[in-house]
Structure 1
């Protein structure tokens, strides 16, 4: 469950739930702690969102609010979602970069960086099929580039 504050009076509570066939996201708009609107999005496979709950948030906001108010709230949650993702990716990059400090050989450094990127990004990070055949210098160049792109 995750809560997105829209204003002093409004918040959206989002939840993930399993369904018989796949999963769904539910969003409940709360006004001063009282439920005023509820909607859901059902999925059968991975969602392609910038951050978790983006689709159901937009559906709830556009269903309850109108015009400029709705657009303002959508812009606000999109900014918050992007900031959360950027913050967590920055942490992944920082931990991966510790390989340069903690390890001594290029092989150890590259191995550390690869493990940390995989651990921090899960399925979001997949090295190329020929990764094991690349020279250590090329691995380092690619890993350092990936880490640099994660830092704020």
Structure 2
């Protein structure tokens, strides 16, 4: 190889390495920034119990896990209903009766699932002390399903 060829390869290699390092650094920055944003925005029932003791949090997670396990047929029915909705709505001819039936079955499965989850949370709340229930309600208003129900306070 001539010295000119070696210099060209060296420059190309340097450019590729700088590009790769920049890509890795940019990807790492976005990943870590997203991790912090996700941690700050954790919402849902299991995160609403974050102010309770570790034992109480574990009890709620287990109760929700058991409910989810028991409700697998409902979850599947709702998922299948949504797939049917996509299939019906993307068909060349809209079958309104099939659409209404798919909407009704999906709504029924979603409602039954929600009722099971609400019953689980109510059963869990019944085991809490009044102080623990206040902590749970406060956290549910900030991070859980009650966050949209309470209008923000004006200061």
TM-score by length of 2: 0.35
Report which of the two has the higher share of helix: 2
Structure number with the bigger relative contact order (C-alpha 8 A, sep ≥ 6) is 2
Q: Going by fraction, where is strand more abundant, 1 or 2? A: 1
